[in-house]
Structure 1
Amino acid sequence: MKRKRPSRTAQRANKKQKLLAQSTERPSHALLEQYYPEVVTLRQYLASRLPKKRRRILQQYGRDATAEKDSALVGLLDTTLVGSFEHVQVDDSSFVDDDISLFTQQISENGTAPSLTPGKFKQPEIVDYAIWKLFRKQASNLRPQHLLCQNYQRYLSVNDSGPGPEIVPGIPGVYSNGPHENVDTLKNHPWTAVPDVLGRGAERAVADMLMECGLFAPIGAANNFVQISGVPMSDLAALTMKSKGPASGSEIQQGLLPLELRQQQLSKRKLTEIRFLRHRMLYAQPMLNAKGYACFGLHQTHAFNRFSDVQDRSQTHHLMKYIFPLQFGLHNVLTSDVDHKETAYAFKDYTIREKEIARLDSARRQKRPAANEIGETRLPALPKRLRGAAEVLVARIRKRHTKCSYSALLEHYCPRHDIPAQDDHNSLNRACSLAEVSSFCRAVVIRVFPKDLWGTDEAGQSNAKVLLSNVDNFVRLRRYETLSLHDLVQKMLLNADWLQPQSQDQGARLSASDFAKRKELMSEMLYYIFDSFLIPLIRGHFHVTESNGQRNQLFYFRQDVWKELCEPAMDSLKVNMLEPCKNGYASTSTRQLGVSHVRLVPKESGMRPIINLRRRVQKMQHGRMVLGRSINSLLTPTFSILNYEKARGHHSLGSALFSVDDIFPRLQKYRQSLRDQGLLGETLYFAKVDVQGCFDSIPQDRLMELARLIINDNDYQISRYSRAKLLGAHNKETPGFGTKPSWKFLTKAGPADRSFDFRDEVKDDITEGRRRAVYINGLAPKRESRQAIIALLQEHVQSNLIQIGKRLYRQKKGIPQGSIISSLLCSYFYADMEREVLGFVDDGKSILLRLIDDFLVISIDRKVAEQFMHTMHAGVADYGVHVRLDKSRANFDLEINGSAIPKTTAIEFPYCGNAIDTRTLDLTKDRERRKKTNIADSVAVEYTKLPGQTFYRKLLNALKLQMRAMLLSTSYNSPFTVLSNLYHIFVEVAQKSYYYIRSLPQNKQPPGKLTIRAIDDMVKLACVLMKHRRRTSKDVIPYECCVTGAQARWLACTSFIRVFGRRQTKHQMLLAWLKVQLGSPALQAQAHSLQPVVVKYGSVWRLVCPRDETSVLVASSTEQWNWM
């Protein structure tokens, strides 16, 4: 008889607790997930590589309280992250055993290490094996693209600086030429304990992980990591949305390598990823005729002008290769990769592609040797889809181009305007309006491209309207905005005759493959029209540029008008700052730096010269043209050395400020000094001057004398590393999650006799508040001698060559303004002037602030302020200092040489975009300056990809830029000042949000729910930023902000209601939510105390419509449909 259990629970079988519960929870790191489909912990990865029994041992290690454990190893297993491209399969056992046997045999033969037994490798030996295998897999003589192989090389080479490479014990045939921090980390505890936990065959799993995956070790707090193994993440391409996540079974079977996987992803580029490079239409110089006058039309290098014989059918076929490169197997934007050694941009410039076409024709002739022997001269066959109607249309386009009078259309749509005498000094008044430029471009497109290109009947008219609308949008976009090819194609109907196969009936049903082919042909045609016709059209007729005060707004000047504006400014530049270049300076064999170029930026009065030193010039290398390094890139080691000397403090920089934020600690210290002396509350005297032509007036010889004193070590060491962060959100549930990785490639100079400690540098960077970043160490540090740096600096300062037209000039006075070292050299130079001329300011009761060339003195002694003003206005000839009277300011009555200095009557004294309270030294925004601000000029709208998520990200970024400690510190400012600052921050963010939404097309504007969520998250972020700012080394007093979350939310809701209330019908859902928020008891309690902030300051910004926003979109009916 079967025995019964006494009770249901007494003898119940205890279910064994799952050991995998904790190990299957995957870590989340949004930045790493942008590059690796799978991101797991080290424990999870190794467990997936082990048999079931040893897997359970690894998963249980450190989680059983009764068993012995290595706490460092437990932390390593659970905090180190592994990024892999797929479930990497272990190589066939026979091949792995052969490699290991060969490795151990070579070590034994070389006698560089004790004999090794396969299957019993220790961790250092596994690392050495991985490095040896990586070099063995590399076919060429190049170093493998892997962090473990950094500072190793396969062959001996001449090393002029420092000792030569050394033999590496344990790695046959490999030499060392520098430190190996990552290798040392992997060879020391707790990594040395990993093989013992894994057991037999550990070398296979660990070596495979080291070679194929990315290893990331945590450093500091806030989810920061350092990559210690794998292909450097900076060399990887970010994954597309389709490729994120685990790899498919077919990919695993194919054994795709990471590089092959990325190439497969790029085989067909999405239309949303193809964005027009509008910057190519900027800063074009006029084409001149024999008499030196500006002439109009497409440039002579344009394909329409190079193939001008409209009767030659072969030229029509040749031009079709430019329009439809994909159909002929040429390089194109839809499927081809871009060699970034040839161009620095996302896509190539296809103006001239004769070499590529010649190679294609040569390859075709080699495949048909029989036809070549016979002497066949017939035209090569066109692709089937381009025969017939397509060929006829291209021939018509060529003929219409020859008949189009570009100059007559320009005079009709963009005539020269007579400017009143009182406005003649403002060069911006000479620019054409956006409506005029748009009308001209649309008229040219209508006359050159026949209407049959877009179809017949209503479909053709619809396509024409879409095309002209996109041309109008293209012209009106701001400087950093663009369109994608998807924006042009999405509304186009694909039933034009030339898109159809010749053998297909008109009423035949459209197949999926035929639709894809039609879309491909239309995409190529539209890309050619905008990239290779519209942009050259604008360049040939207009000089497109930003202005000095409106950085995002573009101005279109007729080329002849621009030539008239530039000639006086350029002549003045040649006389005052430049001199014709002598042959000695032009010797390219002895010069390290190239030639820079100058362009002029219009101002309200006159022109401002800008020297471009970031431009990468093309040079010949191994028989082909590649991009060289820019001048600023060559000066990066010099910049790092100057920064290192600045940090050492051997040469005082005086009152120099290196950012606007540096004002805050300086004023903290000054006010604390006044308080300690019992002088706080005394009348403060403010005096401000602006040095005229700061960079252009510095004496070069005196600057070089100072530079030789600053750079005084015989040798320096230059180290490099990179840092990545994610611009979007890090929470997967947040709009804009993982939007875009941002990389910075940093250099650090140090003494030659001390090695660079990468981890200490990263820890110092993290203490400044860095979060969720990834750091990657660079190659071996390079040594730079003082002699070489001084020579390079001397060439840059005293022999700066500038090309204007076809002539070279040397800058005889001043320093290049566009250089990365100009601001730092200027700070050193004026600090020397302070010691020599302005020493009277340093009396313990005054303070001098200087941001580049803006000087400000604050003193309780009026005589000090007056002496400062008299000294500066008298000029300091030895330092090239001259001050303009009309830009000087003071808060007291003062006359210099019979001229009154402009006096500020307001309580707040403006300085560098901020305002300082003349009674309490409280800091606010310069509201008077912002009253004149056009919000439209500060907004860059993303029209192409994920507009809703981009709006969310940009809204939060707009807030982050405004949340400065100097404005929010209640330990320095009064609470009322902080509340008013916070209110104006919210007002500006609301203004930008309103205009951003308004600028988007109706179908791309974010819905009400997304806008509400973005504003709600913005308020939460503001509360976090107010409270959790970390103290830095510059702070004199601890940072504190006593503003509550309820107060911040009330101010935010009030500011958004004030802005969005102007369009109540369009934003009903948002306004209703804001009113509900203000109606809550917590916020109602704040209304009485916060109302004075809103009443006193109000909303000082204004919404300004963009230029010509009210102009019509399309041309007149007679213009639009008068097609031939």
Structure 2
Amino acid sequence: MTAPFDRAPAKTQQRTLPPTLHHKTLSAYYPYIYTLSKFISSRLEDFESQQHISNTTAFSTFLTSILCAFRNEDELNRVQLDKDRRVIFPTQQEAIDKALSHVAKASSGLGKVQNLLLLRTSSNLHIQDLPINMSRPSVPNQTIQGPAGSFRSSEWQILRSRIGDKSFSKLLLGTSLFSPAGNNCYLQLSGIPLYELYEEDHHRVSVSKIELSRKRKRGAEKNRKYKRKRSKSTTVIQAEDGSEDRANVKENEDDRIPSNTNILRQRMFYGRPYWNKQGVLSHGLPPSHILNALKRGKKSHEAPSDVDCLSLLDDIFPQLVDSNKDISTFTTENLPKRLEGMIGIAREIIVRHNRLDYEEIMKHCLERMNKASSKTPPPYTEQSDWIATLAQSNNQALPNNPLISKTHRQVSMLVRHHYCSLFIFYTNHGKPTQPGYASCQFITAKQFETTSLHSLSQKLRINDFRWLHGNNRSGQRVAPGEMKKRKELVLDLIHWIFECFLIPLIKNSFYVTETATTKYETVYYSQKDWNKAVRPHYRSLQDNLLEEIDKNEVEAARRGILGVSTARLIPKPTGFRPIVNLGRKIEMPDTTNSKRKSWSANQILGNVHKVLTSEKDRQKQRLGGALFGTNEIFPPLQKLKFELTNKHGNLPQLYFIKTDIKAAFDSIKQDKMLKILEDMLRQSSEYRIILYSVLLPPGHRAYQGTSKRLFKSKAIPTEDVSLTFADHAKDIADSMRNAAIVDMVRRHSVTTQECLNLLRSHIKDNTWKVGKQYFRQKTGIPQGSKVSTLLCTMFYSYLENEHLSWTRREGSLLLRYIDDFLFITDNYNLARRFVDVMSRGFPEYGARISVDKTLLSFEYDTGKQLAPVCSVNDQGDVADFPYCGFLIRTGTLDIMPDFTRFLNYSIKQSFARRSTRKQGSSFLTWYSRQLENRNHVALLDTVHNGIGTVMMNVFINFAMTTMKVPHYFKGMDSCVNFDRLVFASMLCSTEYTFYAGRARVLHYVRTKNTKNFKEHFSLKKEEFVLLAITAMSHVLRRKASRFKGVVNLLEAETKKRVYRGLAEKLAVVCDKGWDAVKDARY
């Protein structure tokens, strides 16, 4: 087992200090790290050589495991332990209290961060649960639950007796102490909390980038006749006076620059149209829009007044008109000069809007391109099972028109038509300015992609807008202040056009959503077609799932603890999936009839979720084959392969059955669910919620040295609560490596009865708001809830325990991810029995299987119909069985990623860029994280999988990830070093993925106490890198017009000496991997 620390060369240190230790997380904040034994020995010369009764193995281990960390050399030299080793205080608690008084005095003052030792527990804890200092029984010790409680242990008492009270106090005051928690993770005991240092460190780095970001052209100083003195750099690192204030001013200015100003594109999703009093759909802009407000009450031929024009200009250019003055007081004489030339433009916009027929334009644009092919998957039709079932349940004929989405080209044409009909801004060349590519980019962007004002204003020249010139002649030199003002006006105009005109127009004309098949793709349906399609589905929901609430109960439902939820529908190939939005803030009407926003329903259910998670971990044996993540599929499959090998010598023929519960969430019986919850939570009467922070290591340079900080919480039954946080930190560290844990010393309690009451209200009183009507869900549990996945898993776990317990025998395995069952067995009769039992359903649980999603690896006639069989290979055998994003080899139980899912739709629909800023410099981080999504232990273990399968997995991972690269750089102008940038980033990400995957596999093997753990990752680095380069070059070769230079660099890399002879060895794997994914659309 490797040592948890590496030796690193120390910086300027005292002669008596040993070399500093290196830790992947702590060293990012503390350059000087020593063991407690070495540090004390460097300050007290005879500490190690002193013969003492306490020199036991346990105490020696304690001294070598505790770390002392320092942020700088001054802090290190400031801690001088006292040679006076007298023990003054009779008890350890009094010594701790005296040390804390010194810490409090040192931490007092404006701007100083409080020491971790001074953090106290919340006052709502029960005092009788806290240990009492026996020397002062009348004074409750509130700090024992915090980090200070760790110093009451016997090891710290022995240490105090050896170094004395003065040195003990200085040790707590001047050092940041860390104790081991397992897996090379450490718990902070003293010093400034690490999560505060994280904030300080990131602020310092950001300020440094701000102050040092002024770029200079190469050779500019030599060509300048009169050289200007270079100003001194003022950064927080140099700590010059006023540098932080200037940095704050600079940051405030950065918030207003175009690249930091994003259009709120998310506002146009899931919009409802406006209907007039006659029930007719209102086309164009909503009635509340300023253009419609100025039109209201006026005839079409009536010219707009100057006040109307000024009102429109004030809405477009908020900085141009003084907000403190009344617009009606302006006259043509006292108007600002810049406004005089813009009155005519505003009047022209209002007149054009009054004469515009939005309904006719939309009808013309959509009919003109009616034959255009849709970019989305084929829509469902009236012959689908959903339509047939719906028609049968409602006993009525449904409309023959299928729900067909409008293409992005149709929507773009409509937007351009409206723009050209309403806005005419002539340039110096006599041509009108048009949104062009900007509007197309805005419409085709994916759901969570951001659109900045900077990207929308590209390819526009400020001087081309004639209306900005005023009395100045074209081509006349403009002062810098005037040019800055013109730029601000153009940006205000673009911002208004997209956010205040196009978004309301699109929202009122189309229903914008994502679908179950297109994922991140933005899909547009006309509001008329959408309402016609969803109306019968809402009627079906009212008949089967919902019941309307009486008007007298509406106010009580709105004032409920979880409020009223809004529902929306997501299109599926066979209908719609209802999703309840429980993440929106609850609007609670108060006595003054004003609406005030409070927490969302999911936030209120946060403590319940933590309690259920705690019981899930504590009672995992009662949950059967439940999986709580796709990464949990590997251990049971590994165990099954080991059992079958011991039982048969070799793997026998295996039978696979996959089935799914139909309408799993909506068919759950509510009373049955509440009984199950009462049974799950009956073991404890109260839980303690503890909050803590976790800091993860910066990782490889592929992540550009950025560490990650997480704030987490955990529910612990009161009977399992320990006196100190250190015992809980060991449980937290079980699933981590090289992390730092900080106790935030925040606790609060929640009772089991409170959780059950909240769950009962959530399940039985879930209220939907559909339009202006209110409904209560009478069956099932809400989808979209924070606890819905856990509730569904627990519900079907009880079903499994009651009806499928016979599947738990040697040679068989039953897995279930929420409601998706997978049964693997070597017994054909058991496989048939499983199919028969599942086909009959479970009426007492309201569960019926979905025949369409049932899949078998063998032919079997259930009596009613022939169950579908998985596809076979060229030899006629079932090779790969799909389940939860994986492909399982039926003959060897090898695991592969399910790449077949990406062959049915374009690869660009599988991801979305959250930001368009700094695409080049962010590519390294983005590409590395995309590779991590399929860098599982299950795909890399060379003991469970064959070496050929692992090589295939590596190739497919890099091939599928590289297919996203052309879409990542779409619309980005190529720079001089573009090819070198992409090539270097890909190689760096490849190296990081190799080391991260190997570390993940070895960590998993160590936790299982397996011998010969290196055999579980026998793939060499050269083989891994060559597979990755080959996959990347195969993919980018198809995009040679943009990435030819990158392909040349990749192919040149493969010819290096280190890869000599490997190309022939891996040729078969590469060819097989490329044949598997080459049909993917990218």
For residues 614-763 of structure 1, the aligned pairs below 5 Å read 614-619=583-588, 627-649=597-619, 652-678=622-648, 680-712=650-682, 713-725=684-696, 731=701, 737=704, 743-751=710-718, 754-755=721-722, 757-763=724-730
For residues 743-892 of structure 1, the aligned pairs below 5 Å read 743-751=710-718, 754-755=721-722, 757-771=724-738, 775-892=741-858
Distance across 1 between alignment mates of 2:150 and 2:476? 68
For the structure 1 residues 378 and 388, does the alpha-carbon distance in structure 2 shift closer, same or farther, using more than 3 Å as the test?
A: closer
Confirm whether residue 265 of structure 1 aligns to residue 258 of structure 2.
no
Q: Which residue of structure 2 lines up, in the alignment, with residue 313 of structure 1?
A: 306
For the structure 1 residues 701 and 663, does the alpha-carbon distance in structure 2 shift closer, same or farther, using more than 3 Å as the test?
A: same
Confirm whether residue 324 of structure 1 aligns to residue 292 of structure 2.
no
1:578 paired residue among 528, 532, 546: 546
For the structure 1 residues 148 and 769, does the alpha-carbon distance in structure 2 shift closer, same or farther, using more than 3 Å as the test?
A: closer
For residues 883-902 of structure 1, the aligned pairs below 5 Å read 883-902=849-868
For the structure 1 residues 471 and 20, does the alpha-carbon distance in structure 2 shift closer, same or farther, using more than 3 Å as the test?
A: farther
Kept in 1, the 8 Å contact 2:309–2:347? The answer is yes
One-letter code of the match for 2:788? Answer: S
Query: Secondary structure at the residue paired with 2:823?
Result: strand
Kept in 1, the 8 Å contact 2:453–2:491? The answer is yes
Kept in 2, the 8 Å contact 1:708–1:790? The answer is yes
Distance across 1 between alignment mates of 2:27 and 2:487? 33
Kept in 2, the 8 Å contact 1:581–1:809? The answer is yes
Q: Which residue of structure 2 lines up, in the alignment, with residue 484 of structure 1?
A: 452
Q: Which residue of structure 2 lines up, in the alignment, with residue 524 of structure 1?
A: 492
Distance across 1 between alignment mates of 2:338 and 2:117? 52
Distance across 2 between alignment mates of 1:500 and 1:1071? 47
Query: Secondary structure at the residue paired with 1:778?
Result: strand
Q: Which residue of structure 1 lines up, in the alignment, with residue 560 of structure 2?
A: 591
Kept in 2, the 8 Å contact 1:645–1:651? The answer is no
Kept in 2, the 8 Å contact 1:910–1:916? The answer is yes
> Cα distance, 1:563 vs. partner?
0.6
Distance across 2 between alignment mates of 1:1046 and 1:167? 61
> Cα distance, 1:513 vs. partner?
2.4
Distance across 2 between alignment mates of 1:421 and 1:1017? 42
Q: Which residue of structure 2 lines up, in the alignment, with residue 100 of structure 1?
A: none
> Cα distance, 1:551 vs. partner?
0.8
Query: Secondary structure at the residue paired with 1:1001?
Result: coil
Deviations 1:992-1051 (A, max 9, x none): 224433x24234797111111122123322331343230269859666121112221222
> Cα distance, 1:977 vs. partner?
1.7
For the structure 1 residues 77 and 223, does the alpha-carbon distance in structure 2 shift closer, same or farther, using more than 3 Å as the test?
A: closer
Kept in 1, the 8 Å contact 2:178–2:186? The answer is no
Q: Which residue of structure 1 lines up, in the alignment, with residue 1004 of structure 2?
A: 1031
Kept in 2, the 8 Å contact 1:721–1:745? The answer is yes
Kept in 2, the 8 Å contact 1:389–1:497? The answer is no
Query: Secondary structure at the residue paired with 1:478?
Result: coil
For the structure 1 residues 786 and 525, does the alpha-carbon distance in structure 2 shift closer, same or farther, using more than 3 Å as the test?
A: same
For the structure 1 residues 313 and 145, does the alpha-carbon distance in structure 2 shift closer, same or farther, using more than 3 Å as the test?
A: farther
Deviates more, 1:657-666 or 1:1066-1075: 1066-1075
Kept in 1, the 8 Å contact 2:562–2:586? The answer is no
Kept in 2, the 8 Å contact 1:924–1:977? The answer is yes
Query: Secondary structure at the residue paired with 1:814?
Result: coil
TM-score calculated relative to the size of structure 1: 0.76
Distance across 1 between alignment mates of 2:976 and 2:802? 59
Q: Which residue of structure 1 lines up, in the alignment, with residue 90 of structure 2?
A: none
> Cα distance, 1:507 vs. partner?
5.3
Kept in 1, the 8 Å contact 2:903–2:1079? The answer is no
Distance across 1 between alignment mates of 2:45 and 2:379? 93
Q: Which residue of structure 1 lines up, in the alignment, with residue 88 of structure 2?
A: none
Distance across 1 between alignment mates of 2:944 and 2:507? 52
> Cα distance, 1:794 vs. partner?
0.4
For the structure 1 residues 970 and 237, does the alpha-carbon distance in structure 2 shift closer, same or farther, using more than 3 Å as the test?
A: closer
Confirm whether residue 79 of structure 1 aligns to residue 69 of structure 2.
yes
Distance across 1 between alignment mates of 2:642 and 2:719? 40
Q: Which residue of structure 2 lines up, in the alignment, with residue 414 of structure 1?
A: 366
Confirm whether residue 442 of structure 1 aligns to residue 416 of structure 2.
yes
Distance across 2 between alignment mates of 1:669 and 1:77? 39
Query: Secondary structure at the residue paired with 2:716?
Result: strand
Distance across 2 between alignment mates of 1:145 and 1:385? 56
Confirm whether residue 967 of structure 1 aligns to residue 953 of structure 2.
no
> Cα distance, 1:1069 vs. partner?
2.9
Deviations 1:255-279 (A, max 9, x none): 969xx97576325523222222221
Kept in 1, the 8 Å contact 2:208–2:236? The answer is no
For the structure 1 residues 389 and 702, does the alpha-carbon distance in structure 2 shift closer, same or farther, using more than 3 Å as the test?
A: same
Distance across 2 between alignment mates of 1:400 and 1:313? 16
Q: Which residue of structure 2 lines up, in the alignment, with residue 118 of structure 1?
A: none
Query: Secondary structure at the residue paired with 1:940?
Result: coil
For the structure 1 residues 242 and 327, does the alpha-carbon distance in structure 2 shift closer, same or farther, using more than 3 Å as the test?
A: farther
Deviates more, 1:1022-1031 or 1:319-328: 319-328
Distance across 1 between alignment mates of 2:501 and 2:15? 61
Structure 2 unmatched runs, 5+: 1-10, 50-59, 79-92, 212-233, 297-302, 385-400, 873-877
Deviations 1:623-650 (A, max 9, x none): 9866421111111111111111122227
Deviations 1:37-88 (A, max 9, x none): xx665899xxxxxxxxxxxxxx99976997879999999996244799xx9x
1:548 paired residue among 499, 516, 521: 516
CA RMSD of aligned residues (A): 4.8
Query: Secondary structure at the residue paired with 2:1077?
Result: coil
1:939 paired residue among 911, 932, 938: 911
One-letter code of the match for 2:1046? Answer: L
For the structure 1 residues 22 and 592, does the alpha-carbon distance in structure 2 shift closer, same or farther, using more than 3 Å as the test?
A: farther
One-letter code of the match for 1:1017? Answer: C
1:515 paired residue among 458, 463, 483: 483
Deviations 1:211-261 (A, max 9, x none): xxx99999767787758536964888953744558746998545969xx97
Deviations 1:588-626 (A, max 9, x none): 586211211211111122111111212223457999866
Query: Secondary structure at the residue paired with 2:636?
Result: helix
Distance across 2 between alignment mates of 1:1103 and 1:1000? 24
% same residue: 24
Q: Which residue of structure 1 lines up, in the alignment, with residue 1054 of structure 2?
A: 1078
For the structure 1 residues 265 and 1056, does the alpha-carbon distance in structure 2 shift closer, same or farther, using more than 3 Å as the test?
A: closer
1:303 paired residue among 278, 281, 290: 290
Query: Secondary structure at the residue paired with 1:629?
Result: strand
Q: Which residue of structure 1 lines up, in the alignment, with residue 266 of structure 2?
A: 279
Structure 1 unmatched runs, 5+: 1-16, 45-58, 91-112, 116-120, 139-143, 330-356, 366-375, 1107-1124
For the structure 1 residues 640 and 692, does the alpha-carbon distance in structure 2 shift closer, same or farther, using more than 3 Å as the test?
A: same
For the structure 1 residues 551 and 221, does the alpha-carbon distance in structure 2 shift closer, same or farther, using more than 3 Å as the test?
A: same
For residues 93-104 of structure 1, the aligned pairs below 5 Å read none
Confirm whether residue 1089 of structure 1 aligns to residue 1065 of structure 2.
yes
For the structure 1 residues 1066 and 894, does the alpha-carbon distance in structure 2 shift closer, same or farther, using more than 3 Å as the test?
A: same
Kept in 2, the 8 Å contact 1:425–1:604? The answer is no
Query: Secondary structure at the residue paired with 1:229?
Result: coil
Kept in 2, the 8 Å contact 1:151–1:177? The answer is yes
Deviations 1:641-665 (A, max 9, x none): 1111122227600111111221110
Distance across 2 between alignment mates of 1:266 and 1:730? 32
Kept in 2, the 8 Å contact 1:948–1:1005? The answer is no
> Cα distance, 1:826 vs. partner?
1.6
For residues 995-1014 of structure 1, the aligned pairs below 5 Å read 995-997=967-969, 999-1003=970-974, 1007-1014=978-985
Kept in 1, the 8 Å contact 2:121–2:745? The answer is no
Kept in 2, the 8 Å contact 1:848–1:858? The answer is yes
One-letter code of the match for 2:251? Answer: Q
Confirm whether residue 229 of structure 1 aligns to residue 181 of structure 2.
no
1:495 paired residue among 463, 482, 501: 463
